[in-house]
Chains A and B, each alone.
Chain A
Amino acid sequence: MFSRTALARAFALPVEQCAHFSVARACLHSAATASTTTTTQPQAPLSATPRVQTSAPSTKPPASAPLDPASLKKPVAPTFTKPLELNQSLLSQLPNLTSQQPHYIISHLHDKPYLLTQGDQIRLPFLMPNVKPGDVLRFNRASVLGSREFSLKGAPYVDERLYECRVRVMGVDSEPLRIKEKTKRRRRHVQQVRSKHKYTLLRVMDVKIKTAEELLQEGAVVVDETA
C-alpha cells in the first residue's frame, strides 16, 4: 500500500526542479499565444502565471480536517510503537546491499507484486481514486529489496523504515474500446457489451535502500540476539 504521510519530506528536492521546469514551459506557451493570435482575446490571459505542478494541497494531513468525508478515507500516518531493531547479521550484511547500485524493489500494491527500479513506468491495472497528476506516493510494503548479487527478503514484508520508494502519478490512461459479443442459445440476437477501462500511470522516482548509518541516525536500535 501507499501512504501520503511522508510527502512533505519528499517534496524537499523535487519542488525546486518542478518550479524551474514549469516556468520554462509557461514562457514557451505565452510566446506561442503571442505569435498566433486567436480570434477571441480574453481580458485576463487564461494560461496564467506559472505554478508548480505538485500535489501540495492534497498532502495536507487529514488530522487537521477530520470532518471532511474524503479525508477520512485517506490512510493514517504510520505510528511505530517501537524503534526499528537491527540485529548484528543485518548490520554486517547491509553494506553489501547498499553499496551495490542499482537497486530493485518488489513492492506490493493490493497484494500484487511489482518489481520496480528507478525510472520505471507503471500502468496500474486499476484506476487509483483520489489522486491527480503530479501527486507523489510512497510505497511502504515491499517483500524484497535487492541489487545484482544481494537481496533482503522480508517475512512476509520488509520493514518500511529500511527503504524509500516513491512514485509520481503521471495521469490516467485508457484502453481501446472492447466489444464483447454475447449470445444465448436459440435466440437470434447478439448482445454487445462495451467496456473501456481506465488505468493510473505512475513513474518510479527513486528506489533507495538506507545505509546502516542513516538507520541509526533515524533512531534504529541494535539488538544483540546472543544475549
Chain B
Amino acid sequence: MPVQGIRTVTAARNGVGAFILQCKQLDFHYCDWAGSSRGMVAFLKHQLPAFAKANPQIEIRVSPRPHKHPVIKGHYINGREKAICVRNLEPEQIFNKANLLKEASGEKLKRTKKPITSLNESVRGIWSPYHGGFKSV
C-alpha cells in the first residue's frame, strides 16, 4: 500500500478568528558613503525607532550595503518578498514606502475584476432548470 499524505481538512483564513499582519520582517539597507542614502540614513536615525515601536509585530533589521542604493525589503508570511529602492528619497517618502510594505498582503500584484474570493461552497446551490417554480418553458 503506497504511503498517503494527510489530507488538510481546513484552509487557513487569516483574520476570521485571529489576525496576523502579513508583513513579518522589514530589512533596511543603506550605504554610509553614497549620497543616495542620505535620506535613508536620516530615516534610520530619527524615524525608525518610532516606527519599530509602533509595529512590534514586525521584525526590523538594519544592515549596510556598501556601494549600492538603499533598499527596503519586506518579507511576508506567504514566503514572498517585496523590495523597494529608495534612492534619493526624503525621510518622509521612505516612511511612506515602509508603511506601504507593512500594509501589503505580500501577494503578486494582480488585476482582478471580481471583488470577492470565497473558499466556501455556494450557499444557495447551483441553479437547475428542472427545479423551482418556473412559469413557462
Contacts and interface: CB of A to CB of B under 8 A. Distances in A.
Interface string A116-145: 111111111100000011100000000000
A214 B14 CA distance: 29
Interface in A138-176: 146-148, 168, 170-176
A46 B60 contact: yes
A119 B120 contact: yes
B24 interface: yes
Nearest to B112: A123
A33 B61 CA distance: 9
- Tell me the interface secondary structure of chain B in the complex: loop
- Residue among B49, B102, B115 with the most chain A CB within 10 A? B115
Contacts of A38: 61-63
Contacts of B56: 26, 47-51
Given A40-B63, A146-B124, A114 B116 contact: yes
Contact of B19 (A40, A134, A204): A134
B52 A39 contact: no
A135 to B, nearest CB: 9
B1 interface: no
B17 A174 contact: no
Contacts of A49: 56
B22 A170 contact: yes
Contact of A53 (B13, B17, B57, B105): B57
A205 interface: yes
Contacts of A29: 24-25, 59
B124 A104 contact: yes
Contact of A47 (B52, B100, B115, B118): B52
A22 B20 contact: yes
A117 B109 contact: no
Contact of A175 (B18, B63, B105, B111): B111
A39 B116 contact: no
B137 interface: no
Given A25-B57, A53-B21, A146-B123, A116 B116 contact: yes
Contacts of A26: 56-57
Contacts of A172: 100, 103-105
A134 B24 contact: no
B53 interface: yes
B64 interface: yes
A125 B120 contact: no
Given A38-B63, A53-B57, A205-B16, A174 B104 contact: yes
A11 B120 CA distance: 24
A18 interface: yes
B24 A25 contact: yes
5 contacts: A14-B17, A21-B18, A122-B116, A168-B16, A174-B104
Given A38-B63, A102-B123, 10 more contacts: A14-B19, A18-B19, A21-B18, A51-B57, A53-B20, A53-B57, A54-B19, A132-B103, A133-B19, A176-B111
Interface of B: 13-22, 24-25, 48-49, 52-53, 56-64, 100, 102-105, 107, 109-112, 115-120, 123-125
